[in-house]
Copies of this chain bind each other. A is one copy, B any other.
């Protein structure tokens, strides 16, 4: 790699390895998003959300936008979590900003049998092109995170055909036809692993799996259908030359009771939502993995003084231990004033420095 690629800020990667850092690194889930006027402008030029994701120049542009405003310690690839099922031929669309819809949802044994791992140099090449372009344009300023939806979460949308409060169609498949459900999830685990390995080969420096809907499952189905397939993904990543050295972050929203089991997968870090104290989360994983989180995103609707206080409370709850990446407990919402994100980022760095004596 050329000189500009030498990483100038490795706080995020050091924290994921549970090494000491001068201050606590921070990035924000959905940091390239609708709360930024420049994002809305690029999206308007792109014409649609999927066009934004599918054109590497647009994806690169919006990925870098929050870094121009805030002192963030990581960039994350701008993309959609449903790129894989779209590449599998399900026909993804976003009807008037209403959330995702698939023209051809997966319902029958025949539907599942014909699903194939997409070609990472074919249908999904646009994602790898975006990763390469973003890496180049970052000039080593901060590391780039690649990501995927978890097999369970992808299956939720693929079987339901759209968003849902309970994704009962997939749940019913799991209960009525567990073999078919496992066949679907196995294919998705293979696809997610191949997708993340290809992102690593293209230049991603950390990999994150978003298990947005794992928390909808009871304890036994969570272990069987969500956790187990994520463990297979982690295993595949560790076996690949492209990704074996990369830290993997798993984030199962609403699954705070399962942190210890999630840490057993061999991942480097776990995302934590805002419904538990980080001190408890750290005890649950016994220092075996780094933790990423966990400010309530709604705090960004409060005053600067409150944001600073609540940010300090999250940092203090984790304490002066290695292995904390500050983040929200869920994605940032469109109503947030970008100025308040600056307040948050700066306070995390300032208080993190005091906390860590950096």
Contact = CB atoms under 8 A, between A and B. Distances in A.
B169 A301 contact: yes
A172 interface: yes
Interface string A233-266: 0000000000000000000001011000000000
Contacts of A169: 301
A276 interface: yes
A121 interface: no
12 contacts: A166-B297, A169-B301, A175-B303, A175-B310, A176-B302, A215-B275, A218-B276, A218-B296, A221-B296, A254-B275, A257-B275, A257-B276
A168 B218 contact: no
* Max chain B C-beta neighbours (<10 A), residue from A167, A302, A333: A302
B172 A298 contact: yes
A168 B295 CA distance: 13
Interface of A: 166-169, 171-172, 175-176, 215-221, 254, 256-257, 274-277, 296-299, 301-303, 306, 310, 313, 329, 333, 335
Contacts of A303: 175-176
Given A274-B218, A275-B217, A333 B166 contact: yes
A169 B300 CA distance: 11
